[in-house]
Amino acid sequence: MKDFKDKVAVITGGASGLGLAMARRFAAEGMKLVLADVEEEALRKVETEFRKAGVPVIGIRTDVSRAQDVERLAEKTLATFGAVHLLCNNAGVAPGGVVWENTVADWEWALGVNVWGVIHGVRVFLPIMLRQDADCHVVNTASVAGMLSVPNMAVYCVSKHAVVTLTECLYHDLAQRSSRIGVSLLCPAYVPTGIIDSERNRPALLRNAQRAKTAEELAREEAMRKAVLSGKISAEDVAEMVFDAVQTNRFYILTHPKIKDAIRTRIDDILLERAPTDTSKPPR
């Protein structure tokens, strides 16, 4: 995409974090915004912010794990703006824990949002984009966790690996058809956003039974919180990288160059058929 003025961007998880930063960046280019989020109050707040700034915007409460919600999102987008040119499948959650202790609820929640959310976005919006026969772009937010396998993050890593391969396959499928739809895969590492507190949005039906957390669990959560909040690259920095990738039609967006060594180590582990290296530990 080269021309952004008056084009329509649909962004899931658009009321906070990376989604909101992307919305602000694309709004600065003159785009109309459709913001989808499960948090009603936050959604109304940012919708008001954009309206006051003169940005054409609608906010639609959406649980991306539900097919009917995403279908309704598309219907309202077309009813309001008549088209969609940029789709950012960005909504995500991040449960942690040791893999054998993760509950069915943990898996259903994370796979519902992180994987089915992207599946629904692609399934619903790509046919619309193809019919338009216009320059369009899709950005799927994965994570470096989609390229690594690290301790205490199995549920999250599984979900993000799925997004990586789904997006790579999407790229091939569109390339075979010589479509005008570009694709980018966003793989950030630690960025200070609200994803560390994503439990706030877990549906009641998928909540785990209340119990006292062990000292190990509390220490693990605190370490993860510190790692995320100490990230040196901001959501605004990432949004700028996303804009550049859309504008230049670049596929991989690796926001933290230093993480490439860990990715290379994992690939070498596979090719050399050796046991997985714990890339969460600093190299000796």
Distance CA 245, CA 12 (A): 18
Name the residue with tokens 């909504």.
Answer: 91
- DSSP character for 97? B
Nearest to 17, CA basis, from 135, 182, 192, 165: 192
215-223's contacts with Cβ under 8 Å and 24+ in sequence apart are 217/97, 220/96, 220/97, 220/152, 221/96
Does 171 qualify as catalytic in the annotation?
A: no
Q: Active site residue: 156, 171, 190, 252, which one?
A: 156
Cα separation, 57 vs 35, in Å, equals: 7
User: Quick one: tokens of 91?
Assistant: 């909504």
Q: Which residues contact 177 (CB under 8 A, 6 or more apart)?
A: none
- Residues serving a catalytic function are 156
